[in-house]
């Protein structure tokens, strides 16, 4: 019997799945891969970042709205999605930083926070998992915890002596981290915008880029060609209307420039139980050889 390939993307909040790796997921859905997004929290403490949505009625119903936005986005992407059930920690701001709210996701003991994901991994049985790096992609406490629980689930789900009450063991074969904003990518898009006579949304960012900032580009092992799906990625991101300004920087570079200049989404292979040659152009490199697939 043939086995269908399965991909799981683990994200901290609703909207993260549309801003990181969305075109990759659409590509694999179109290729017949089963794709599941695991969303750790409900995004209850997110900000309303779209000026058109910054209204009292939106704030009063933010939790329900974010679930409805997630439903719309997953339909656009063609993926399945599961809520892990934790409460958003919020992004602490100020000096000194305030404490995180009691009971939030980022304050859970690791085994408590990882348990729903371990259970989901054993049920869905993904061959590949996507998540954030050890810094969370950016230092939001929920993103860092999302990294921690993803690594824990990758390492524990296949161990019959761990989380014994959560189903039959299943060992994913590869774990990847998103490496979205390498300096080379930002520079290439910035240059292309200027060459086209357009205002670059990245100029201020580049002007303030710290010399000692680690460059995600140095960690990229895998580039997935998916430029033809950038439009669906943007549609899914706009579905998160409370979180995304449709006139903001996310949409400042025309799709035709993005598809020409940088038509990939980029990743670091962090763990692997199969052999593959680096650099890769496919998250399932080495996986097809390890499992029977259509």
Distance CA 217, CA 164 (A): 39
178 assigned to a ligand binding site? no
**Residues with Cβ < 8 Å from 46, sequence gap 6 or more?**
13, 15, 62, 66, 88, 242, 243
Average the pLDDT over each of 39-53, 138-152, 153-167, 173-187 and give the range with the smallest value: 39-53
What b/e sequence results for 100-112 when a residue is b if at least 16 CB atoms lie within 10 Å of its CB, and e otherwise? bbeebbbbbeeee
Residue 13 marked ligand-binding? yes
* Distance, CA of 53 to CA of 31 (rounded, Å): 36
54 annotated to bind ligand: no
Phi, psi values for residue 85, rounded to 5°: 95, 10
Residue 1 confidence class, pLDDT cut points 50, 70, 90: very low
pLDDT for residue 192: 98
For residues 48-74, average pLDDT = 92
Q: Domain ranges in the chain?
A: 6-181+216-287
The DSSP 8-state label assigned to residue 285 in this structure reads T
Q: What percent of the chain has pLDDT over 70?
A: 99
**Terminal C-alpha separation, the chain:** 9
pLDDT band for position 293 (cuts 50, 70, 90):
low
- Its CATH architecture, for the domain 6-181+216-287, is 3-Layer(aba) Sandwich (3.40)
Q: What is the DSSP letter of 88?
A: P
The pTM of the full predicted model, rounded to 2 decimals, is: 0.95
**Average pLDDT over every residue of 67-82:** 98
Q: Give the integer Cα–Cα distance in Å for 219 and 137.
A: 13
Instruction: Give the three-state DSSP class for 44.
Output: coil
């Amino acid at each position: 019997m043939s086995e269908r390939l399965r991909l799981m993307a683990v994200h901290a909040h609703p909207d993260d799945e549309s801003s990181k790796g969305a075109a990759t997921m659409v590509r694999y859905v179109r290729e017949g891969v089963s794709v599941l997004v695991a969303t750790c929290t409900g995004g209850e403490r997110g900000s309303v970042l779209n000026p058109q949505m910054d209204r009292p009625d939106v704030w009063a119903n933010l939790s329900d709205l974010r679930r409805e936005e997630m439903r719309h986005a997953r339909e656009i992407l063609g993926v399945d999605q599961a809520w892990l059930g934790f409460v958003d920690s919020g992004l602490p701001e100020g000096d000194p930083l305030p404490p995180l709210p009691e009971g939030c996701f980022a304050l859970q003991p690791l085994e408590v926070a990882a348990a729903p994901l371990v259970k989901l991994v054993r049920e869905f049985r993904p061959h590949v998992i996507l998540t954030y790096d050890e810094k969370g992609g950016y230092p939001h406490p929920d993103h860092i915890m999302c990294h921690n629980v993803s690594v824990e689930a990758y390492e524990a789900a296949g161990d019959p002596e761990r989380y014994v009450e959560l189903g039959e063991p299943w060992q994913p074969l590869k774990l990847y981290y998103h490496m979205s904003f390498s300096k080379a990518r930002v520079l290439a898009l910035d240059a292309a915008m200027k060459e086209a006579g357009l205002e670059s949304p990245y100029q201020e960012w580049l002007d303030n880029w710290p010399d000692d900032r680690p460059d995600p580009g140095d960690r990229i092992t895998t580039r997935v060609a998916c430029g033809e799906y950038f439009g669906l990625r943007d549609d899914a991101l706009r579905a998160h209307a409370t979180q995304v300004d449709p006139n903001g920087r996310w949409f400042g570079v025309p799709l035709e420039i993005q598809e020409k200049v940088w038509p990939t989404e980029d990743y670091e292979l962090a763990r692997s139980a199969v052999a593959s040659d680096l650099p890769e152009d496919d998250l399932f490199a080495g996986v097809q050889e390890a499992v029977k697939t259509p």
